[in-house]
A and B are shown apart, each in its own frame.
Chain A
Amino acid sequence: MWEGTGAAKESAEYCARWGLEGTVLLDETAEYARRLGVRGVPTNVFVDDAGIVRTLGASTFEDLLAAACQLEPRLEDDSDVLGADRMPGDFD
């Protein structure tokens, strides 16, 4: 999700610079971000399969992992994913 003026151009440049793939949605007016109460970046919104928000925030590796495990409990049993030596970049 990319918010703000010039979202298409800026997000395209950003994705090219960092080699990011995947869906990027453009929130040109930042109206949707404000509707969610997003006050800054990075902010992650974890949504379950019933469409309910489970976590909003989570910017550190530890917080992300905790939020992911809450959303998908099977991750807690996955030692490969949760191994102590793994770093955020390893998930790419």
Chain B
Amino acid sequence: MGRLPRAKVDGVRTPQPGAPAEDPDIPEGTACLIPTPRASTHRLVAEIPVGLGPEGAVIDAARRRLYVTCSRSHELTVVDLDSLEPLGTIAVGREPTDVALDQGRRRMFVCDLLGSTITVIDLQTGEPVQTVDVPGYPSSVVFDPTQGLVYCGCAGGSAVAVIDSDTLELLETIPAGFGAGGIIYDDDRQRVYCANFLADTVTVIDAEQRRPLATLEVGRAPCAMTINPATASAYLVNSASDTVTRIDLDSGEVVQEIRVGRGPVGVGVSADGRRIYAGNRAEGTISVVGAHDHQEWSRIPVGEAPAGFAVDPVTGYVFVSNAGSNTVSVIEDLLTGPVAAAEPVPHPLVGQPLPQFALPDLRTESLRHSLEWSERKFILHFFASW
């Protein structure tokens, strides 16, 4: 496993719940805990530096480890859940975007978007043991503990790849929709749900028969999904509609669409199942949604371009990977109900002159100055680089 530099201190450490006031294992000047006034909505516990372009995250609570896929440095960052320190990295395939755990076999499965592979990692050694070829652009992966299978949404093949967790063989591909990606598994009902980013649909799959059962219409550009057993619901973020879709797992039908922040691409559920989190990639916040009243309770600022979620069942801390700032925000959610929304405030730049720029052009490599666009109406589009 590669090594990462330890986090730098930006302030005084905040003691963690249950931890001694002074922790001799964390040398002076290297801890990453950020003191934040105890607000009524949340507490920022830490901001952990990770690799480049962090996206998916998974927690191995038993071993007290967080694994984060770093899409632009082609590795996983391993974090100690108790000290909240990065421990090192594990090299994987090109552009890893998601990760799933098989606790029984002590394996981890990472989907490599541009490598079109699944990298299999031995949890004991922290070393890759094998790669499995799958259809193009695998972006999301989930483990089925009942059948010992791994499902992976593959946009290139518009399909769900099925891998045997014992033999590590690709068993088959199940047809899904255009842009197949975000995927979840409902163990109680033996169903797989796959979000089809380019079709604005979700494919429902019978996991036992390995065949599609239904197609659900959802919002625009659906991305990640999660399951909340407490409400027998699945949740899906629609990145171009700024909404969360709730699917009733008993009926298999869409029952609700909930407004959240701008550009939601990640979704998670709190340890107690009472809250849903949406990572609003376009505005650097997470939306907290009540799992029973289906309202947005609050919006919490995190790092730039938040993506994946993981929740520590021991502490209840919410881990948010920030693809733009190459960090993981650790949040203690203190909400008990909806907080009155503040009046929307226009961005401070609206009504002001655009700051001038001089930036290189990708195609000509020449420096382009904002004066070139003077006296013209134009749009600067910051696109999906984070």
Contacts and interface: CB of A to CB of B under 8 A. Distances in A.
A15 B362 contact: yes
Contacts of A65: none
A39 B282 CA distance: 6
A60 B282 CA distance: 11
B182 interface: no
Interface string B361-377: 11100001000011111
Contacts, number: 165
Interface string A43-63: 111111101111111011100
Interface string B345-386: 001111111110101111100001000011111111111111
A40 B305 contact: yes
B380 A40 contact: no
Given A53-B354, A60-B242, A45 B305 contact: no
B245 to A, nearest CB: 15
Contacts of B379: 44-47, 71
B284 interface: yes
Nearest to A24: B362
A36 interface: yes
Residue of B350, B354, B385 ringed by the most chain A CB atoms within 10 A: B385
Interface string B175-216: 000000000000000000000000000000000000000000
Main secondary structure of the interface of B (DSSP, over half): loop
Contact of A40 (B220, B324, B348): B324
B377 A49 contact: yes
B262 interface: yes
A81 interface: no
B360 A26 contact: yes
Given A24-B361, A26-B362, A42 B373 contact: no
A86 interface: no
A29 B261 CA distance: 26
A35 B359 CA distance: 14
Interface residues of A, number: 49
B347 A23 contact: no
A14 B381 CA distance: 14
Interface in A1-31: 1-8, 10-12, 14-15, 23-27, 30
Contacts of A83: none
A38 interface: yes
B200 to A, nearest CB: 10
B220 A25 contact: no
A35 B375 CA distance: 22
Contact of A42 (B361, B377, B383): B383
A27 B361 CA distance: 10
B353 A41 contact: no
B52 A39 contact: no
Contact of B374 (A23, A43, A45, A51): A51
Nearest to B284: A39
A5 to B, nearest CB: 6
Contact of A53 (B53, B305, B353, B386): B353
Residue of B241, B352, B379, B382 ringed by the most chain A CB atoms within 10 A: B382
B305 A56 contact: no
Given A4-B324, A30-B324, A72-B377, A41 B359 contact: no
B382 A3 contact: yes
Contacts of A23: 361-363, 368
A18 to B, nearest CB: 9
B175 to A, nearest CB: 23
B283 interface: yes
Nearest to B285: A39
Contacts of A57: 262, 282-283, 347
Contacts of B284: 39-40
Nearest to A11: B362
Nearest to A68: B379
Contacts of B360: 8, 25-26
Q: What 5 pairs between A and B have smallest CB-CB spacing? A: A39-B284, A24-B362, A40-B305, A45-B380, A56-B347
10 contacts: A2-B362, A12-B362, A40-B281, A40-B386, A43-B381, A47-B379, A54-B351, A56-B350, A60-B220, A88-B240
Interface of A: 1-8, 10-12, 14-15, 23-27, 30, 32-33, 35-49, 51-57, 59-61, 71-72, 88
